[in-house]
A = this chain, B = another copy of it.
Amino acid sequence: MFAMMNEAKTPRRPAAARYRAPAVLKAFRLLEAVAAARGAVTLSELARRLGYSKGTLHGLIGALLDCEALCESPRGRGYAIGPAVVELAFRSRNFFRIVEQAQPVLDGLRDRIGETVCLGVLSRTRGLIVATAEAAKPLKISAPPGTSIPLLAGAVGKVFLAGLPRARALALIREQGLLAYTPQAITDRRRYLEELEAVRRRGFAVDREEYLPGVRAVAVALGSPAGLPLALWVVGLAETMDEPALETIAAEMQGAARRLQEILARNE
């Protein structure tokens, strides 16, 4: 299960690729700042947040407006993410087809285990939920598409890092830190690496109230069957997701993960 992810994440790049177009890196940092702001963000706010000169910002914003990666907010109060970004995401390997094809599998899994099921895309810093099947009970965890969690919080990060070469996992841990979201969070680097070993052996990761008190989760990696690194996870209240339940859920998830991988690989 982890082989595909390893391949996708340890690119062999030609020596010539050492040069990186610096304006492109800056442009994406700018787009991230705009997306993080939610509302429209002004040029002076961007200058403050990013520390770029006004000249650099003018050049970047001009280019991003030209290719519609940015647009001006309807009331002229600043900039927002533009239609080109939405279009790229939608056209990317028929992204919506992925969500559409995954939904019945998520619904089926939810019906069998009775907890909320999420499908997420993993980036370097976050796990982004792109489809969910919510538990059909009054007291449940709700996680609508668009919600994202820090990558190293809970089960998702563990399952993702377990699929990476040790050096790359360590680099991500150093970069982002193991934060004490709750008293249960694993903040000791050695203990965390041991946990990753256990995840590799078992094929799934568990979060025992490590990100949110009272909440447990199980995560399974899907590799990149459709080009994007994906993971499946189940979130529920600690009260119902006790130790025997965790085992049953993990077994059901592994079946669902195989079905998802088969369905999504057909998209390639």
Contacts and interface: CB of A to CB of B under 8 A. Distances in A.
Residue picked from A62, A72, A83, most chain B C-beta under 10 Å:
A83
A89 B68 CA distance: 13
Interface in A30-85: 31-32, 34-36, 38-40, 54-55, 58-69, 71-76, 80-85
A253 B145 CA distance: 28
Given A35-B92, A66-B25, A228 B20 contact: no
A69 B28 contact: yes
Q: What is the count of identical protomers in the complex?
A: 2
B60 A21 contact: yes
Would you call the interface of chain A mostly helix, strand, loop, or mixed? helix
Contacts of A21: 23, 26-27, 59-60, 62-63
A163 interface: no
A240 interface: no
Contacts of A80: 92-93, 227-228
Contact of A20 (B22, B55, B66, B130): B66
B87 A128 contact: yes
A224 B76 CA distance: 11
Interface of A: 4, 7-8, 11, 13-14, 16-29, 31-32, 34-36, 38-40, 54-55, 58-69, 71-76, 80-97, 100, 121-124, 126, 128, 130, 144-146, 148, 223-225, 227-229, 268
Contact of A59 (B19, B32, B62, B64): B19
B228 A87 contact: no
A130 B27 CA distance: 25
